Amino acid sequence: MLENLQQYQEEVNNFNGGTASEVEEFRIKFLGKKGIINDLFFAFKALPGDQKKAYGQPLNILKKAAEDKVESFQNTQGIDENNASFEDLTRPGYAKSKGSIHPISLVRNEICDIFSKFGFSIAFGPEVEDDWHNFTALNLPKYHPARDMQDTFFLDVSPERLLRTHTSSVQIRHMENAKPPLRFLAPGRVFRNEAISARSHCLFHQVEGLYVDENVSFADLKQTIQYFTESLFGKSKIRMRPSYFPFTEPSAEVDVYWGLETETDYRITKGTGWLEIMGCGMVDPSVLENVGIDSDQYSGFAFGMGIERIAMLLYQIGDIRMFFENDIRFLQQFGAQY
Ligand code: PHE
């Protein structure tokens, strides 16, 4: 078969296109699964080593030439005169089905837009983190009981590697590499070893916020959160409950009042009307010191919110698992908004 290489090459060289079906016929003859070129390669493989040299290069040239021919004629000529639909230029086009943006992305984008209005930029960090960025630098030393607040997936490769349990690790990464004033949001996926239920999931999404500058106060934090919730939910009642996070002092949790008008509200807020949407507080001075920022000169606030929670409120979704099932009937309801 290989003796005919020259003849095949000529045939390929002489091919001058034609109708779409002629081009396709040519393609199948030379480049199809059972085509000449595959057969030639098969024969080539069976050759003893010393004969291979003579055929390898011409074989590749033949293949390339055949591919080039098909490509050029598929693009330029090759309209099939038998296919009348090509000739009717007034024929209506085919409708394209539009995709839709996932509700988590919609809400994330909305949150980023609101904060970008007052100067927050966007930062990212890795999902596979080390102990320092996820815990130790955030004032959570090894064996500290507060680590239990976030049940962690450690990676087998090394106990130092883990899936980040919160986006607070991005605070550390960013502060290590930049000097105040700092103002940024860090959206991303986080992982916790939790039982999956209607209200919790092993994988979820957070948006972290950090603001570090001279004279940043708790009043600034409160004002910022208030502005944010009003932009997102409209006029809304919020409350700040004292709380504890190792990396902020003082710390608070923010609840939004959603009411109890529908059964979904009842499910989302567990019958209280309030839903916790974020944790926040003033950056603990020792966190600033851990990344080399002078805590006498600078102070800051930080917050971290769960996107699923907020999306559940905004879209009245009673079960967090809906976000991960990718049921097309669910996703389609969010329309094509881009
Ligand atoms: N990282 C905290 C959590 O995941 C949230 C948080 C962020 C709290 C920033 C305070 C400040 O629960």
Three-class SS of residue 35? coil
Report yes or no on whether pTM surpasses 0.85: no
Contact (Cβ atoms closer than 8 angstroms) between residue 89 and residue 29: no
Instruction: State the DSSP string of 60-122.
Output: HHHHHHHHHHHHHHHHSS---TT-GGGT-TTSPPPPPPP----HHHHHHHHHHHHHHTTT-EE
What is the DSSP secondary structure assignment for residue 147, as one 8-state letter?
A: G
Question: Cα dist. 225→116, 216, 238, 307 in Å?
Answer: 14, 14, 9, 15
Three-class SS of residue 54? helix
Identify the CA nearest to 175 among candidates 202, 141, 213, 205.
213
The answer to whether the CB of 166 is under 6 A from ligand 1 is yes
Q: Whole-angstrom Cα distance, residue 255 to residue 236? A: 10
Question: Which pLDDT tens digits describe the chain residue by residue (338 residues)?
Answer: 777 888 999 999 999 888 888 888 999 999 999 999 999 999 999 988 888 888 889 999 999 999 998 988 876 544 555 554 556 778 788 877 778 899 999 999 999 999 999 899 999 999 999 999 999 999 999 888 888 888 899 997 776 899 999 999 999 999 999 999 999 999 999 999 888 787 788 999 999 999 999 999 999 999 999 999 999 988 788 999 999 999 999 999 999 988 888 777 777 788 888 989 999 999 999 999 999 999 999 999 999 999 998 998 889 888 899 999 989 899 988 876 54
The amino acid occupying position 267 is R
Work out which ligand 1 atom sits closest to the CA atom of 167: 1
Contact (Cβ atoms closer than 8 angstroms) between residue 50 and residue 113: no
Q: What's the 231 CA to ligand 1 centre distance in angstroms? A: 21
The answer to whether the CB of 298 is under 6 A from ligand 1 is no
The amino acid occupying position 155 is L
The answer to whether the CB of 171 is under 6 A from ligand 1 is no
Three-class SS of residue 234? coil
Identify the CA nearest to 248 among candidates 214, 277, 208.
208
Determine how many CB atoms are found less than 10 A away from the CB of residue 301: 23
Identify the CA nearest to 30 among candidates 51, 11, 17, 53.
11
Q: What's the 245 CA to ligand 1 centre distance in angstroms? A: 7
Q: Whole-angstrom Cα distance, residue 75 to residue 83? A: 17
The answer to whether the CB of 256 is under 6 A from ligand 1 is no
Determine how many CB atoms are found less than 10 A away from the CB of residue 58: 15
